[in-house]
Amino acid sequence: MGPKIQKILASLVMCPVCMQPLGETEHACCQWCWQRLQLPQKTRCPQCAIEVTFDGLCGECLSQPPYFDYSYCLSDFDWPYAALIKKFKYQKQRSLAKLFAQQMWLQFSDYSYDVEQFVFVPMHWWKKHRRGFNQSQALCQYLSQFSQIPTDALFKSTFQTKSLAQLNAKQRQIALIKRFSLRAKPKLKHIVLIDDVMTTGATLNCLSKQLKAAGVQRVGVWLIARTAKPNKTGT
Ligand SMILES: [Zn+2]
Ligand SMILES: [Zn+2]
């Protein structure tokens, strides 16, 4: 293929964020959007990544620590990430997975030196069929590509319960335990769970609890976004 044709083809590829021609870039979006997506880091709780006003654990992690040891996120669930995540999940914009994973790897790779595996949140086959893909799995696939750290489907989703939003906290916990189960005991020390958004952290906590019970020593969480104010109905 001649360079001229290559150039024409490149001009046809669109930036998944602004829908303008991608142009020459090593990123999964155009240079302009890439700059816009680099947000200043906030002070966050090291365990659950919620924004805090002082260095140290948030009140919730102090009183009821989750089973995961640490969390990193790119942003709050806010502009511009919130809109992009909605596009990613509900308009099936799979191309955004590469962009998010690229950003995650850029920002979190410093903390990855002894991570042995990325693990995604499983999705019931019916939900996956309806949505077209599992967003957590798509992020894992790209992160594995960038990092050479393998991804494994450690969990299976066995139950399709009612929407968790309809349940109270106790019912939700029971529903989650029924929903997710380990396929096999991982013989690993350090695992990172990958997800798009953490709200209450109930799902990630449920998975972490099972990993810890199976002997995993360190469980981390990498996210695109963290909801600033956890409401009690999310996952
Ligand atoms: Zn763009
Ligand atoms: Zn916290």
- Write down the pLDDT at residue 93: 81
Tell me how far the alpha carbon of residue 128 lies from the centroid of ligand 1, in angstroms. 28
Give 198's strand partners: 226
Q: How far apart (Å, rounded) are the C-alpha atoms in residues 88 and 136?
A: 11
**Yes or no: is domain 39-226 CATH 3.40.50?**
yes
What angle separates helix 202-213 from helix 169-179, to the nearest 10 degrees? 50
- Write down the pLDDT at residue 44: 97
- Preceding omega of 80 cis (within 30 degrees of 0): yes
- Write down the pLDDT at residue 161: 57
Tell me how far the alpha carbon of residue 150 lies from the centroid of ligand 1, in angstroms. 30
- DSSP designation for 87: H
- DSSP designation for 44: B
Q: Which residues surround ligand 1, an ion (CB under 5 A)?
A: 15, 17-18, 29-30, 33
Tell me how far the alpha carbon of residue 31 lies from the centroid of ligand 1, in angstroms. 7
User: Residue 192: which pLDDT band, with cuts at 50, 70 and 90?
Assistant: very high
Residue 3 has pLDDT above 80, yes or no: no
Residue 232 has pLDDT above 60, yes or no: no
Contact 67, 208 (CB under 8 A): yes
Tell me how far the alpha carbon of residue 158 lies from the centroid of ligand 1, in angstroms. 39
User: Residue 178: which pLDDT band, with cuts at 50, 70 and 90?
Assistant: confident
Tell me how far the alpha carbon of residue 6 lies from the centroid of ligand 1, in angstroms. 20
Question: Is residue 76 classed as helix, strand or coil in its secondary structure?
Answer: strand
Q: Which of 35-39, 76-80, 194-198, 230-234 has the lowest mean pLDDT?
A: 230-234
Q: Which numbered ligand comes closest to the C-alpha of 226? A: 2
Q: What is the mean pLDDT of residues 151-173?
A: 78
Q: How far apart (Å, rounded) are the C-alpha atoms in residues 126 and 87?
A: 20
Top-confidence residue, 228 or 20: 20
- Write down the pLDDT at residue 160: 60
- In this predicted model, what pLDDT tens digit does every residue of 31-77 receive, in sequence order? 999 999 988 889 999 999 999 999 999 999 999 999 999 999 999 99
Q: Quick one: which H or E segment has residue 13?
A: none
- Domain extents for the chain? 1-33, 39-226
Q: Quick one: which H or E segment has residue 218?
A: strand 218-226
Distances (CA, A) of 188 to 20, 137, 219: 43, 19, 10
Q: Which of 165, 157, 172 is nearest to 233 (CA)?
A: 165
Q: Which numbered ligand comes closest to the C-alpha of 60? A: 2
Tell me how far the alpha carbon of residue 26 lies from the centroid of ligand 1, in angstroms. 13
Q: Which numbered ligand comes closest to the C-alpha of 66? A: 2
Top-confidence residue, 160 or 4: 4
- Write down the pLDDT at residue 95: 83
Q: Which numbered ligand comes closest to the C-alpha of 16? A: 1
Token pair in block for residue 6: 């290559």
